[in-house]
Amino acid sequence: MPNEFNVYKNGVNALQRESWEIICSSPPGGTDNRFKKCIFPRRTLYADNLRKGLRDEVDAIAFKNGYLLLAEFKPLLSNSLNSKNNLGESDYHKLKRLKKFFQPTTLRSYLRQGYGYQCKEVSHVECLLGVELIDCPIPEDIFVLSVDEKKVAIEGNNIPSILLSLRS
């Protein structure tokens, strides 16, 4: 069975090789001292108070040429689609929820305020599931980065050209 931390590490390294700037990360089982931790206010608390209460963590957020990438990493695609967090949602559903709530301008503002990161222009927000093994069908509305020590592949429908460079 693939190791979740290795999938995270290989995915972040693949993004960096292709000039994606990693804004923050929350790797499985700890922290990556190279980056700040990715934490979002929980959806039910958005309207009341953006600074208190439970938080959502995202494994990595990266930026390149107007694209903001929200990424979650698991060993198997089926883990990303079926394993549930404490809200009863999978990584896939969490990313879709965050993308729906945080429109590009809201995300840009949040990243500037929460991380001091100055995104010049965020025109697109994309969700990415990073895995070592694709062991089930890929949902039509998300991209999958398949990574291991030797290869990188991007899979999905209507992949934006900016993500196509992730193929090796």
Question: Quick count: other Cβ atoms within 10 Å of Cβ 160?
Answer: 12
Residue-wise pLDDT for 103-125, tens only, equals 888 888 777 777 777 777 888 89
Residue 153's φ and ψ, nearest 5 degrees, are -140, 145
Angstrom distance (rounded) from CA 111 to CA 89: 24
127 contact partners, CB below 8 Å, separation of at least 6: 69, 70, 71, 92, 95, 96, 98, 99, 142, 143
64-112 confidence digits (pLDDT tens): 998 999 999 999 999 999 999 877 899 999 999 888 888 888 888 777 7
Q: Residue 46's pLDDT band (boundaries 50, 70, 90)?
A: very low
Q: Give pLDDT tens digits for 52-64.
A: 556 788 999 999 9
117 phi, psi to nearest 5 deg: -90, 125
Closest CA to 153 of 1, 5, 18, 2: 18
Q: Which of the two residues, 24 and 119, has the higher pLDDT score?
A: 24
Residue 122 or 163, more confident? 163
Strand 124-131 to 143-147 pairing:
parallel
Q: For the whole model, what pTM was predicted? A: 0.88
Residue 50 has what pLDDT?
Answer: 46
**pLDDT exceeding 70 applies to what percent of the chain?**
89
Q: Residue 27 carries which DSSP code?
A: -
Confidence of residue 45 (pLDDT cuts 50, 70, 90): very low
